Amino acid sequence: MRLAVIPARGGSKRIPRKNIKPFCGKPMIVWSIEAALRSGCFDKVIVSTDDTEIADVARQYGASVPFMRPAELSDDYTGTLPVIRHGIEWFNAQGQAIEQVCCLYATAPFVRVEDIQRGLQILEETCGDYAFSVTSYAFPIQRAIRLTEQGRVEMFSPEHFNTRSQDLEEAFHDAGQFYWGRASAWLQGKMIFNPGSAPVLLPRHRVQDIDTPEDWVRAEWLFKAMQAQQDTDQL
């Protein structure tokens, strides 16, 4: 069985009720639920939550909430791996064998159906542990600087001060949208960032972390701009 797990705990602090806060006309989590359902990739799309209100919204928009996530997996320090492992183990205990799992974040309104489908294709073609969304840094990381306690600056890699930007290796980072993985990799707790993982490349303009109120405002601006462009293209 192929499973989508959308982690969505209720205790967001920087943006209260973030997972169900209205975003461009819908509760935030709904964008992820609808993309997962439309992709046709999954036998089940579930939301893993400890919050009854989030569970109600998830069910209203077509996701399943077969269990409530236990408190020990719902604090500020629990990572993604144990949450997904818990979901797989729950289904295995019901006699339902899981083969592939996609962890899809609840705050990923920019996720697209075709990217989820491409992620599954890459996972199967590479025979690796994971395939997850990544994008490139907008600026060479080798030229990054830090601010010192004395109020000055220093380079992380001073040996590259005179290196031309075009001669520096391009760097990429986690796009924070989805993580396809084999059930065996999730259960073994294998790190997602490992040589057995493959990238699903996304353009930078479709990647936005939403961790602070400022992030939220910027994401809505960007989302509305992309919607307007799509409407124009369809005319």
Domains of the chain: total: 1
What local confidence, expressed as pLDDT, does residue 32 receive? 98
CA atoms within 13 A on the CB side of 144: 9
Give phi and psi for 130, each to the nearest 5: -140, 160
- The answer to whether 30 and 61 have CB atoms below 8 angstroms apart is yes
- The answer to whether 19 and 96 have CB atoms below 8 angstroms apart is no
The answer to the question of residue 154 being in a domain is no
What local confidence, expressed as pLDDT, does residue 12 receive? 81
What local confidence, expressed as pLDDT, does residue 186 receive? 98
Residue 66 reports pLDDT greater than 90: yes
Q: Which residue has the higher pLDDT, 1 or 13?
A: 1
The answer to the question of residue 149 being in a domain is no
Q: Which residue has the higher pLDDT, 234 or 216?
A: 216
**What mean pLDDT comes out for the span 195-210?**
96
**What mean pLDDT comes out for the span 165-175?**
95
What local confidence, expressed as pLDDT, does residue 14 receive? 86
Q: In what order do the strands lie in the sheet with 100-104?
A: 44-48, 2-7, 100-104, 172-182, 130-136, 197-201
130 is written with which tokens?
């994971």
The answer to the question of residue 90 being in a domain is yes
CB atoms within 10 A of CB 160: 17
Over residues 112-162, the pLDDT tens digits come to: 999 999 999 999 999 999 999 999 999 999 999 999 999 999 999 999 999
Over residues 9-35, the pLDDT tens digits come to: 998 888 999 999 999 999 999 999 999
The answer to the question of residue 88 being in a domain is yes
Residue 77 reports pLDDT greater than 90: no
What proportion of the chain, given as a percentage, has pLDDT over 90? 92
Report which residue type is found at 65. V
111, 117, 121, 126: CA torsion to nearest 10:
20
**What mean pLDDT comes out for the span 66-90?**
95
| Mean pLDDT of the chain, nearest integer | 95
**What mean pLDDT comes out for the span 92-111?**
97
- The answer to whether 60 and 18 have CB atoms below 8 angstroms apart is no
pLDDT band at 229 (very low <50, low <70, confident <90, very high): confident
**Residue range(s) defining the domain that contains residue 103:** 2-135+172-234
- The answer to whether 19 and 105 have CB atoms below 8 angstroms apart is no
What local confidence, expressed as pLDDT, does residue 118 receive? 98
Entry pTM: 0.93
Q: Give the CATH number, domain containing residue 114.
A: 3.90.550.10
The answer to the question of residue 11 being in a domain is yes
The answer to the question of residue 150 being in a domain is no
The answer to the question of residue 182 being in a domain is yes
Residue 235 reports pLDDT greater than 70: no
The answer to the question of residue 145 being in a domain is no
What would the 3-class secondary structure string for the chain be? Answer: CEEEEEECCCCCCCCCCHHHCEECCEEHHHHHHHHHHHHCCCCEEEEEECCHHHHHHHHHCCCECCCECCHHHCCCCCCHHHHHHHHHHHHHHCCCCCCEEEEECCCCCCCCHHHHHHHHHHHHHHCCCEEEEEEECCCCHHHCEEECCCCCEEECCHHHCCCCHHHCCCCEEEEEEEEEEEHHHHHHCCCCCCCCEEEEECCHHHCCCCCCHHHHHHHHHHHHHHHHHHHHHHC
Rounded Cα gap, residues 190 and 186, in angstroms:
6
